[in-house]
Structure 1
Amino acid sequence: MKLEIGMTSFADTNEIHTENGAQEKLSADQRIRNIVEEIQLADEVGLDIYGLGEHHRSDYAVSDPVTVLAAAASLTQRIRLSSAVTVLSSDDPVRVYQRFATLDAVSNGRAEIMVGRGSFIESFPLFGYDLDDYDKLFVEKLELLKQINQHEIVSWQGSLRPAIDERGVYPRAVQKEIPIWLATGGTPESSIRAAEFGLPITYAIIGGNPRRFKRNIAMYRAVAESRGFNLTDMPVAVHSWGYIADTDEQAQQEFYTPTKIHHEIIAKERNWPPYTEEHFQREISDQGAMFVGSPETVARKMIDVIETLGINRFMLHIPVGSMPHERVMKAIKLYGKRVKPIVEDYFNN
């Protein structure tokens, strides 16, 4: 199975801190335009996949990833375009499929859907869903989405969404089936669920030692095999925070403040402890979840994690928080032009 290397973004709009100390909050419209440029560059430098997150908060610019991905589709040639994630519990599977089938048409067969329950809950009251149904909504809607993806005419009965009786869902995708990935923060239940559904899985590794996910991946593959699924049809991906600059020192210096700002915004909501330099250094070490440094440093750490976990796709999350657009573009260029060739050469030899 081919190793794929790509990136993700959540389109943050927190304050940007520049070298001269100025602070500026990016507007959502400017951030969206920047995202389209970033996707175009990612395609030009040879990255394989770009995933864009869905949020319904003032500090994130994108509530509908498909619209932005479609804007980028006509400017790109080969990069695959995915959500990261689609919050399926508070969406409708019919509309999800229709939007992604439309993206598949615009991109000529490059659309993917990454579904998850999301790490924020704003979409539930916004669209009128009960948080008490958090897990049941996801399972029921995932069953329906998978059926729609496989069949043009759908009959389906659930308990939380109205039934469908012999109805066609259109347009159909260019691909026979749109790849659907299940994203998880690493709970055993999510690994088992993805395996039982026969879906590829993406692990969001954003803290701690990535090696601890080896057990989750082994569980996922064991359950999938026990259900009769072919593992060659069920790749495993990892998504982790990271940043690349010319030197380790420069990367750390430019990445620390945006990461700290991002962490502390969420920390106020979730009663997390303050973010410290010690925490940062631990996460960018060989034992941590962040991939920050020169192209050689990031490539070396990626090789270690890919080989240790036995994964098929690695996605670097650039940027975390808000960073000047020109820095993000430089990091993407280094990622595609220098990091990716090092990693590919290692696994091809």
Structure 2
Amino acid sequence: MADKVRPTGREFQAAIMQNAEATRKEAVALMEALLNGGIKVKSAAEVGKRAVEYTRGDEIIKWVQDNKATVAKLCPTVMKEMGISPDSDDLINVPSVLVDEGLIYRAQYHPLEGTLEKTATGSFRRPIWPKRLIKTQKQRFDSVGFFIISYEGNQRWNYLMLTAVLLGIFAICMFQAWPLALKLGIWYISVVLLSIMVTLVVLRLVMFVFCWFCGYDFWLFPNLFDEELGVVDSFKPVHSFKYRNDTMYMLCCRLLCSVLVAASIYELRKTHDLRDVGEFARQSFMDIIEWGHNKLTAGKSADPPTAQTRSEPEEPSLYKSIGVDLSADFEAETPSAEAGEDGLDDDGRRAP
């Protein structure tokens, strides 16, 4: 029986390098899948360094558990080295390759001195998403740690975004040179978006108040004003509805407020109607649109000023609104002569 040919040292080293390269590629692919897969990423300040982006270990584990087939497809070499099968519960250990490859590193909460808060049990309170982190000495992957993302991704996309930002700033600075149609389009879009935002805020407040009277907390887009969330996450979930466990004091407050609101609506209905409110809102919207249109077209359609119009002072709009004509000539009142002035004596006779 022929002896097996053992690999030489050079072949063994080449195999190790090839395996390491495959592991690196799989780790990068897994990192990109995590970032594109919707895990929560927040910004924080790392001690002694610039601002960084980070995520939580439980966020990564949750994504791995929900995408086992994707992980098995992206990391076959890593799973083979760890001896993990696609259906095994040990699949949550695969993200440890991200720490080994330096794509993420573990950090912990590092508050400023004197800012630690304690809970009711006396333990220190740790925020869910802290704003200040520091790198830990022991680098390992677990579900309770914070992990700063050092992977920068595709630099071409970053360069493209930087170019778009610079062009956007330049375009804003050149707003006066824009075509009139483009200026009006931006104005109309801005007013429409602002009107939608105001309408949404008023609607969600009205719905909350009426549900609050009935003992429930109902919010339309409850995370709308959460500054820690992105644009898409601010509209998730669509609504929240839960029962209020109020005390007797709050029950009395709700009853009193409901009576006051009902009385106010009853009195307002005597002089106003919902159609009046709708007409007022519509007219206000059209006035704002017209005001912006007039401002933008003022220098385009106005006739060139003549010598006479340049010499005449422009009347303030305040006086125009109350109907006062400043161009009218007012007769000066003749001041009454007083004794002893203009050469008159005390009896009213002119002195010789």
TM exceeding 0.5: no
Shorter-chain TM range is under 0.3
TM-score using structure 1 length: 0.18
More strand by share: 1
**TM-score, normalised by the number of residues in structure 2:** 0.18
Higher RCO by CA contacts (8 Å cutoff, separation 6 or greater): 1
